[in-house]
Amino acid sequence: MLIGTDILDLKRIKIIERKKSILCRLFTPLELESTVKLNYMEKIIALGSMLAAKEAAVKALGTGFTDTISVQDVQIVINENSEGKIEFLNKAKSFADELGVTETHLAIDTENKLVVAIVALERGFLHR
C-alpha cells in the first residue's frame, strides 16, 4: 500500500481562481468543466480538493510533481456525491503501472479554510 496526503489552504485557490492561464496549467479540461456550474465557494472547494488530491496522489507514487510527472498527468473526477476518483494519465499512468498499482482510493475533507486529501494506492501481489 502506498499512501500520500496533502493539506491545502483555500486562500491559494482564491488567489488563482480568476487567472485562466494558471488554472489551465494546473487542471485538465475535464476538471475545469466539472466546476462550470458551481457557485463561487463550491468552485473554490472543488478546485482546492482536486489540487490537494493531485498532490497526495503523486506523493503516494513517491515522486511529487517532477519534469517527468506533471500536474496534468493526474486527473481527479469528483461525482455528484462528492466522491473523488484518481485517474493517472500519460507518464503518471506508466509510473503507476510500473509500481503495480491496481486500485486507487481517495478521501477528501474540507474544514473552514483547509482541504485535506489522503490517497491510498493498492499494489498487485507481485509488487508487495
Angle formed by the axes of helices 90-99 and 40-61, nearest 10°: 40
Q: 34-75, pLDDT tens digit by residue?
A: 999 999 999 999 999 999 999 999 999 999 898 889 999 999
Residue 128 pLDDT > 50? no
Q: Which domain holds residue 52?
A: 2-127
Please compute the mean of the pLDDT values over residues 76-96 and round it to a whole number: 90
25: left (phi over 0), alpha (psi -120 to 50) or beta: alpha
Distance CA 69, CA 27 (A): 14
CATH number at residue 7: 3.90.470.20
> How high is the pLDDT of residue 126?
58
pTM: 0.92
For residue 32 the three cell numbers come to 475545469
Number of domains into which the chain is organized = 1
Note whether 30 and 75 are within 8 A (CB).
Answer: yes
Q: How many CA atoms lie within 13 A of 18 on its CB side?
A: 4
